[in-house]
Amino acid sequence: MNPVCPICSAQSVLHRSDLYDDRYAYPGRFHVYRCQSCAHAFTNFMPSSTEVAKLYSDYYPRRNYDPSTWHPPQDPRGFVSWLWGRKGGAYAWVPERVRVLDVGTGAGESLGYHNVRGCQAVGMDPDANVERIAREKNVQIKIGLFSNTDIQGESFDYVTMNQVIEHFVDPIEVMKEAARVLVPGGRLIMGTPNYRGLLARLFGARWIHWHIPYHIHFFSRQSMQKAASLAGLELESVNMVTESDWMFFQICHALTRPAPVSASRFWSVGEQRPSLTKLAMGLALIPRFLRLTHLWTRMLDAMGAGDNVVYICRKPLR
């Protein structure tokens, strides 16, 4: 029997079978199920906390992060930013001079962006490797998981999670914690992949954002609405904006996808890439150089078939 939907408990159907970790070679085959009621999609992999630690410390390559590549994102306004899809980042929706918490901040580049805009910005990340970067770049990052934190209630105007909510085993618990730390009227902004877009259909198992088993949840508008209300939030707006370089990464990924249990030479950070991988990247660079990848991305977003959705949820006033 198929698992029930983790958001609304309705029955699910098999959506895609036999996916594998085609980036970092975590072993195993995984299936994606789709809820028949709210269209939420999810994998059959619900790792324990020890498995999560292993998954991110042994397989995910954050420890190889090079601080010389640290650059806060640019101002997301104007034609060039539109062309690049900069508003696909959750940071881009945060106003100036507010208190903001960025969950899953990684190296904290968005914190640098908020700081120059007069915000009080704090990041949170489970990876202790980023402590050194935070010190060097003068940004504030708390190390730990975002559940039952010691953060004081009602202490932030905004909470952002960029490409993060899909990684959690229990996204509703995480959204409840966000609701707790937000002031009444505060907002939770989440960018997350859209599995119902055209590229997911076109590329099938080679779609870049299956990213199994790191991605566990794939939201629909209905499932996000349900999750928000269970967490004590209101879904305020749904915005389809995809960063244009994802199209470039998608082409590279599709051309270089490895066999099961072998690591991708495209995604492996800090390793020498073989000439065939370099050739595939060279081919993908042509439409990027001509800005075709950008135009295709903007077209897909306009059609409502893009790869990324920014959900904005509001904590009701008392």
Interface residue list for Zn ion (CB under 5 A): 5, 7-8, 10, 35, 37-38, 40
Q: Which two tokens stand for residue 210?
A: 């299956």
Radius of gyration of the chain (CA): 19
CB of 66 to Zn ion, least distance (A): 41
Write down the least CB distance from residue 36 to Zn ion, Å: 8
CB of 315 to Zn ion, least distance (A): 23
Residue type, 211: H
Q: Which DSSP category does 59 fall into?
A: I
Residues 6+ apart with CB under 8 A from 1: none
Pairing of strands 182-193, 156-162: parallel
Nearer to Zn ion, 119 or 231 (CB): 231
Q: Which residues contact 153 (CB under 8 A, 6 or more apart)?
A: 180, 181
Considering the complex, state which of residue 7 and residue 284 has its C-beta at the smaller distance from Zn ion.
7
H or E element, residue 250: helix 245-256
Looking at the Cβ atoms of 84 and 218, the one nearer to Zn ion is 218
- Please tell me the distance from the alpha carbon of residue 46 to that of residue 92, in angstroms, as a whole number: 31
DSSP 8-state secondary structure symbol assigned to residue 56: I
Q: How far is the CB of 40 from Zn ion (least distance, A)?
A: 5
Please say which residue, 190 or 252, places its beta carbon nearer to Zn ion: 190
Shortest spacing between CB 222 and Zn ion, in angstroms: 7
CB of 31 to Zn ion, least distance (A): 16
Locate 263 and state its tokens.
Answer: 């690591």
| Residues in CB range of 228: below 8 A, 6 or more apart | 175, 234, 235, 311, 313
Closest approach, Cβ 221 to Zn ion, in A, equals 12
**Other residues' Cβ atoms within 10 Å of the Cβ of residue 217:** 24
Nearest to 165 by CA among 20, 316, 27, 310: 310
Sequence letter at residue 289: F
Residue with Cβ nearer Zn ion (5 or 310): 5
Q: Which is nearer to Zn ion, 42 or 113 (CB)?
A: 42
Q: 193 with 306: CB under 8 angstroms? A: no
190 touches 307 (CB < 8 A) = no
Helix (H, G, I), strand (E, B) or coil at 88: helix
State in angstroms the smallest separation of the CB of 170 from Zn ion: 15
By beta-carbon proximity to Zn ion, the closer residue of 43 and 160 is 43
Q: Nearer Cβ to Zn ion, position 8 or 255?
A: 8
